[in-house]
Amino acid sequence: STERTLVLIKPDGVERRLTGAILARIEAKGYTVAELKKTEATRAILEEHYEEHQGKPFYEPLVEFMLSGPVVAAVLEGNRVIEGFRSLAGTTDPTTAAPGTIRGDFGRDWGTAVQQNLVHGSDSPESAAREIGIWFS
Ligand code: CMP
């Protein structure tokens, strides 16, 4: 069924000029880019966005990283796009993400932390609705 999901191209992806390459993969898969903007996160936005990770050891480094430069936020539409985009993105750690995925093909494995994994995609319909509301309100 048709779903919407929230995708972020994180500061490492924008800084490395990978926005076009990442959007090209999304469009090649057949997903519709329904909303798209380049923006700067704020601590308040990230506290909401990463609510479930508050208190975890990687939370502060993750927030600092997400504040280190602009991000590109998008809403994608498509059949089962929530699971489909996460499959396109690959597993969390770019060092071991499968070749053919965004993280596997573009993620660097030297001197980079696991939070520098280029993209974020919502993990459930509930997260997608919540996150779309945070970034596109
Ligand atoms: P994402 O799945 O978009 O949302 C949580 C993010 O936390 C994840 O991407 C990584 O960027 C980051 N992160 C950093 N360290 C970890 C970790 N140990 N486990 C999971 N996520 C981590």
- The CATH number of residue 118's host domain is 3.30.70.141
Residues 28-83 pLDDT 10s: 999 999 999 999 999 999 999 999 999 999 999 999 999 999 999 999 999 999 99
Q: Is 86 annotated as a binding residue?
A: yes
Identify the residue whose C-alpha is closest to ligand 1 atom 12: 115
Domain span holding position 66: 2-135
- Contact partners, residue 130, CB within 8 Å, separation at least 6: none
Residues 23-40 pLDDT 10s: 999 999 999 999 999 999
Cα distances (Å, whole numbers) of residue 123 to 18, 26, 104 = 22, 17, 19
Domain count, the chain: 1
The pTM for the full model equals: 0.95
Give distance in angstroms: CA of 92 to centre of ligand 1: 6
Among this protein's residues, is 49 annotated catalytic?
no
Rounded Cα distance, 32 and 39, in Å: 20
Closest ligand 1 atom to residue 65 Cα is 11
Q: Is 117 annotated as a binding residue?
A: yes
